[in-house]
Structure formats: structure tokens, C-alpha cells
Chains A and B, each alone.
Chain A
Amino acid sequence: MLHGLPGVDRVGAEQRAAMLGTRSIKTTAKAEAIDLAIRMVDLTTLEGADTPGKVRALCAKARRPEADCPPVAAVCVYPAMVPAAAEALRGSGVHLASVATAFPSGQAPLEVKLADTRAAVAAGADEIDMVISRGAFLAGRYDLVHDEIVAVKEACGDAHLKVILETGELGDYDNVRRASWLAMDAGADFIKTSTGKVPSAATPPVTLIMLEAVRDWFAQTGRRIGVKPAGGIRTSKDAIKYLVMVNETAGPEWLTPDLFRFGASTLLNDLLMQRAKLRTGHYSGPDYVTLD
């Protein structure tokens, strides 16, 4: 089935993404887009040096990025940080996402991946960001990749499953499309571009291909799958370009945190500074938004 999907012409796809990037979003539209983008952020820290203290600080920021500002969609951490985050987010409505399945490489036995997943869910994560086995995918073992996703989905229980394709390692857009369909067919609630741990993370054309995939999947099955570009999106301008792409590719129905997320850390502060500029009429600076 995967090789029966229509091909992707790289140049054409990149031109389409670039053209959408020229949309000019100003004034009221910009204000709405920035608030929406804030509500779509999966505020992320995935460092070996993460500590409960660091995670608590991040959660505080997630709950209330600044005065009169809506909370972000979720906080995204390693499984070991889930208990601290769960504690810090309790009652906030902010979702708690945990990466799992031997993130970021995915190179571990399935049992380890499932245990990783179950532990994260048990500790309070209501969203799981799993990685696919790129090695198996590139070797043509689509069945294996599929089965793993099915198994992880089962291990998730009620938690939502985001499937990270790690598009930077898939080689071409045809594979991005195939991996998207494979993940959706195996039960993904979201498809996500990247771990943020390889040089090539989310790009507009990769996200375009994935948005086309969820659009076509909906047309076939009636089920809407979410999309999460992650890594490399740092400015409000970039974020707005993604929202334009969502709007004109998957459609306005996807313009909700339930169906579109940004995996990001520094993006939030730029959104806050732009938000301040729109409200006050002058530019803000890094000391006027909080660290974390």
C-alpha cells in the first residue's frame, strides 16, 4: 500500500511551501495567530541535564506564560521527569507529554519501549511522543514499524500517541508520506516530524507533506489526525507561516491545539515578545519576558 501512494515532487512541494511562506499576516490576524500559536506550543525540555527543579520552572511558565496569556498546550519531558511535571501541572489543564520508546534513537527491544511507555503513563503523562524505528523503516520492514506503533498505542491506554517520524533521517519526501500513512494506519493520534536531536528537524515542506497526509487520511477514513512539527521553529514569523500552511493545506479544522502543536522551547518567548509589541505598539526585549 505504501508504495502505491502518489509520489512527491521535491521541487514542487518546496515551492508550494515557500509560496505559502509569503502570505502576509498582519494586525488582527497576526494577534489571533500569535495567541493560537501559544496555545499550540508543546513547551519542551529534553536534556540530559534536566532536573525536577528545571522542569517545575518550565511548568510554571507553561501554566501562565505571562499575565493575561493563555496556557500552552503541553509540557514535553523525558519519562524520568514526568512525576515532577505531573505535580507541577496538576489542575492546570496543560497536557503532560512524555517522550518514550528509547527516545531519540528508538534502538531498543520492543519490551523496553513498551515498559518505557507504560511507566510514563503510570507516572501521569497523558500524551506519549514515541519514535519509530527508522532503521527498520529504511530496511523496508514496514510491518515491524507498524506492529511497534500498534503495541505502543495499546500500552498508552487513554494517553494520546504522537508518532515521531524523524523526517530528517528518512531521506526523501516520498518516505515522509509513506511513514505518515503507516503511522496513521497503526493508530497514531498525531504525527510529529522530529526528535530535535538530529540536524534536520521540522521544515515547512516536510510539514506540508504531513498535512497533506492527514488531510487525505481524513478524506478516506473520516478521522482527523494531528500534526506536530518540532525542532527549529524559533520565531513568531515562522510559527505563523506554519499556521498559514495548516489553514491552506489540511484546512481551518486543524487550527486547534487538539490537531496541531509546535514542539518548541525558545519559540514561546518570541511569541510573547511579539504579543507585547502588538499590545503596546513598541518592541519588547528579552528581559521583559521570563526565562525558562
Chain B
Amino acid sequence: MFEYAPAPESRSIVDLAPSYGLFIDGEFAAPADGGVFKTVNPATEEVLSEVSVAGPADVDRAVAAARRAFAGWSALPGAARAKYLYRIARIVQERSRELAVLESLDNGKPIREARDVDLPLVAAHFFYYAGWADKLAYAGYGTTPLGVVGQVIPWNFPLLMLAWKIAPALATGNTVVLKPAETTPLSALFFADVCRQAELPPGVVNIVTGAGDTGRTLVEHPDVNKVAFTGSTEVGRQIARSVAGTGKRVTLELGGKAANIVFDDAPIDQAVEGIVNGIFFNQGHVCCAGSRLLVQENVYDEVLDSLKRRMAQLRVGDPLDKNTDIGAINSSVQLERVRALAAVGEQEGERWSPPCELPGQGFWFAPTIFTGVSQTHRIAREEVFGPVLAVLTFRTPAEAVEKANNTPYGLSAGIWSEKGSRILAVADKLRAGVVWANTFNRFDPASPFGGYKESGYGREGGRHGLEAYLA
């Protein structure tokens, strides 16, 4: 037998302070009312640090700082803004190992993914939008920035979602107040230090930490011109409602229940990799996760056998081990949600997980599939946001399309087939903002990302991503 010895990435590269203030106007400052919360490592439940809660007075200060900075920042030549962003991109590259370990510690994601996916994409995103800063006149959306942007991001890709938000906002001449997720505030606070290293003018980027209340205060602040949110559809609805009549611009990147459609002529081995990557990447904490597998009935057994065999290879455990494929669930709250929906799934379909030993401490959930699921089942309709796959079948391409579209969501979809005309026709008919054919969960700063229907509106990435930040 070939047992891989533990191969832990050293965490000594990350120097964590016992507590962090808010990053406002270029300085770390204590919150006005002194509120703090703890952020923990979800793999061990160890407290990593203490973080400030930004109250209304703090958010107000942050917005005011961003407002003051806006005049100067928006008046800079695009080429100068570009250089700041290039600096940030480079610093992120140079510090990528440190940031990857930090991200893994605070989020629970495998170091392999933080190192090979998150961090390279963060740097790439800043590089990409840096180049736009002095070329806006050619993009087709005008060159006038909106002003102060309030951004609220989720915990699944903390630093990457920050990059998706901050890079285009700054390139277009806006200033930013960003609130990272309650359970993953640390990489945003480290990013504040990256901004200082880059000598970004004070107030251009402000980071306010806290929970939902802080986010709501920011979104509803009267001096915020634009709101950008990534998170749940429920919160997205509240935001859309709360900005009604204010004239604030909004972009929302919300939930999904993506269909991953496997046709009988699929390249089976790659399809199985795509299914696994689709739902188990980042513990399934991915809004565009391929959480509904639609398999053509005549290859169902073959695909399921291969999938189960492949799932048995997944290595669940210490996120800092370089060989870990599936890390920890991000929080106890999320673990409870996943468990609750899985319990519902158990009444609806047949539950299967490979044998795998979960650590005693921390928040863990084994990779799980439910077979025998139908469209009416909750496990096929509700976003689990965890490593849980619902497996359904179809008989014809038309039925596959019908089932894939039969959801209020419309963020992403997958198609596996070796027949070009079929891929193109199905891709045409799927109501989803991103369609991956013979691949899944690929991201690139040049490629627009965003949803149809209740998965939100607006696009992030690419030339399209500039539109949200220009008047």
C-alpha cells in the first residue's frame, strides 16, 4: 500500500496579530464602541484572532474617508491608477504563499486550492483590471466613475471575491468600503497591509469587519453610490429592496443550483473529474457548484460507478496538508445547514458517501451524493452550499435542457458530450450566465461571470465587469 505521509504546509509564514482594528483612511483603528468578535480556524476550532465589529459610526467614518479620497483618486490619470493596481498585483504574487496559508487557516479550504487557484486568480485579477485603468475610453461604458462603492463579500473565496470587487472598482476610479464575511475577515485585513505596502492613497480602500448588521449599514449608507454584493439570494433580495428608490447602482452575484449534464457520448473519465471538481471543489462552497448531476439514463450505471470510485480517492482532512482534496466546512452554522438539508435529502433519495474518517475537532462533512432524486425534491432545488450532490437522470437532450432550466437560479451549467453540434445547441438553450462544456469551475479575470434570474444581475470579470462601476 502507498500511504502518503503527512505533508503539512508550514503555518509559520503567517504572522497573526492577537487582534485587528478596522482599516479606515489608511490606518488601522479601533471601532468606536469597542465591539469585537473571534475568528476561528474551522478545521480545529482554534481561535485565530480577534476582529473588530464596525458599527454605524465606523461605517460612517469609512464612507467619509472613501468620499474624501474619491476626488483625488478619480482625478488621477488612468495610468497612475493602473500602476497602483500593478503594484498590488505584484505584492500579492510575492506574498502569495503567506496569503494562501492564511486563507486556508481562516476558511478551511485545502492549501492546494488556495495555492493553485485562489491566489493566482487574485493576482491575475488585479493585473487584468490594472491594464483597463488607462483604456476605459475603449471599453464602451464611458469613463465616469460612480463614487463610493460599498462591497459585501462572502466567506467561500475571501480574497478572490475581494479581488473581483476591488480591482474593477479602483481601475474605474471609484473608492471602496469593503466588508469581508464574518467568518473569514483575515485575508481582507492582510490585504489592507498590501494596500499600505503599495502606498495606495489613504481612503481609497477601507475594510470594515463585522456581521450582517455591518453589511446592512454599509449597503444602506446614504453616501454610498453603488452596492456590489456576493452572497445568498435571500440577502440579495433584501439589498435590492433596500436600495429601491435610492438611485444606488447595484450588482448582485447570488446563489445557484447548477445542472451538470452528462450525455452518453461524454468523455467519461474527464466528465467524472468535472463532476467531482464541480461539486467538491472548495467543499462545495461555490455559488456556481455543479450541485445537480443530470446523467443520461443509458450511461447512468457507468457514470455512477466511476464517480463513486473516484470519490473514494478524495482525501478529506487537514486543510494545510498539501495532499488534502477536501477541507473543513467553513463554520458550525454552515455545517448545521448542510446537515439539515442532507437529512431532508435522506428522506428523498439514497445517500452515499465513501468511507472516510473525519477529524474529531472542527467542522467536517463527508463528500456525499444522493441518487434517485427527482426535480420535486428539496435536495434538487435548494442550494446546499456544501459537498452534496443530487443525482438525476434524463432520456433526451430536450429533457436535459428542460430539467436544467427548471429552477429559479441561473448562474452556471455544465455539458459533457463529444458532439459539437449538441454542445452548442444545449449551451444556447441553457438559462445560465456561465456554461462550461467539457470542463467545470474554470475562472479567469478576462471571462465575465454572473447569473440569470435569481442568481443575480451584473457581470464580474472581463470588459463586461467594468460596466458596474461606470456611470
Contact = CB atoms under 8 A, between A and B. Distances in A.
CB atoms of A and B under 8 A apart anywhere in the complex?
Answer: yes
Interface of A: 6-9, 11-13, 15-16, 22-30, 32-33, 36, 212, 243-244, 247-248, 252, 255
Contacts of B112: 22
B438 A9 contact: yes
For the complex of A and B, the 6 pairs showing the least CB-CB separation, nearest first, are: A12-B270, A24-B7, A24-B322, A29-B5, A9-B270, A6-B268
Given A11-B439, A15-B273, 5 more contacts: A9-B439, A25-B4, A25-B7, A27-B5, A243-B2
B3 interface: yes
A92 B447 CA distance: 60
B323 A24 contact: yes
Given A27-B5, A33-B2, A12 B266 contact: no
B266 to A, nearest CB: 7
Interface residues on B, range: 20 to 34
Contacts, number: 68
A244 B6 CA distance: 15
Given A9-B438, A16-B273, A22-B322, A28 B267 contact: no
Contacts of B1: 252, 255
A252 B2 CA distance: 7
B439 A12 contact: yes
Nearest to B321: A24
A15 B440 CA distance: 12
B267 A6 contact: yes
Contacts of B322: 22-24
Contacts of A23: 4, 322-323
A16 B272 CA distance: 11
Nearest to A14: B270
Contacts of A29: 2-5
Which among B268, B270, B313, B322 has the highest number of chain A CB atoms within 10 Å?
Answer: B270
B270 A16 contact: yes
Contacts of B269: 6, 8, 12-13, 16, 212
Given A7-B265, A7-B418, A13 B2 contact: no
A12 B313 contact: no
Nearest to B302: A6
Contacts of B418: 6-7, 9
A129 to B, nearest CB: 26
A103 to B, nearest CB: 31
B116 interface: yes
Nearest to B266: A6
Interface of B: 1-7, 112, 116, 265-270, 273-274, 313, 322-323, 418, 438-439
A23 B406 CA distance: 39
27 contacts: A6-B265, A6-B266, A7-B267, A7-B418, A9-B418, A9-B439, A11-B438, A12-B273, A12-B274, A16-B273, A22-B112, A22-B322, A23-B323, A24-B7, A24-B322, A25-B4, A26-B7, A27-B5, A29-B3, A29-B4, A32-B2, A244-B2, A247-B2, A248-B313, A252-B1, A255-B1, A255-B2
Contacts of B266: 6-7
A26 B5 contact: yes
B300 to A, nearest CB: 14
A68 B315 CA distance: 34
B117 to A, nearest CB: 11
A244 B322 CA distance: 14
Contact of A12 (B5, B323, B438): B438
Nearest to B419: A7
Nearest to B417: A7
Contacts of A15: 273
Contacts of A24: 4, 7, 322-323
Nearest to B418: A7
A28 B313 contact: no
Contacts of A28: 5
A248 B269 CA distance: 13
B2 A8 contact: no
A174 to B, nearest CB: 9
A45 to B, nearest CB: 29
Contacts of B268: 6
Given A22-B116, A24-B322, A8 B5 contact: no
B2 A30 contact: no
A40 to B, nearest CB: 12
Contact of B5 (A11, A13, A30): A30
Contacts of A252: 1-2
B356 to A, nearest CB: 15
Contacts of A255: 1-2
A28 B6 CA distance: 9
Nearest to B437: A9
Contact of B270 (A8, A33, A36, A244): A8
Nearest to A25: B4
B267 A8 contact: yes
Nearest to B9: A24
A255 B274 CA distance: 26
A13 B4 contact: no
B5 to A, nearest CB: 4
B267 A25 contact: no
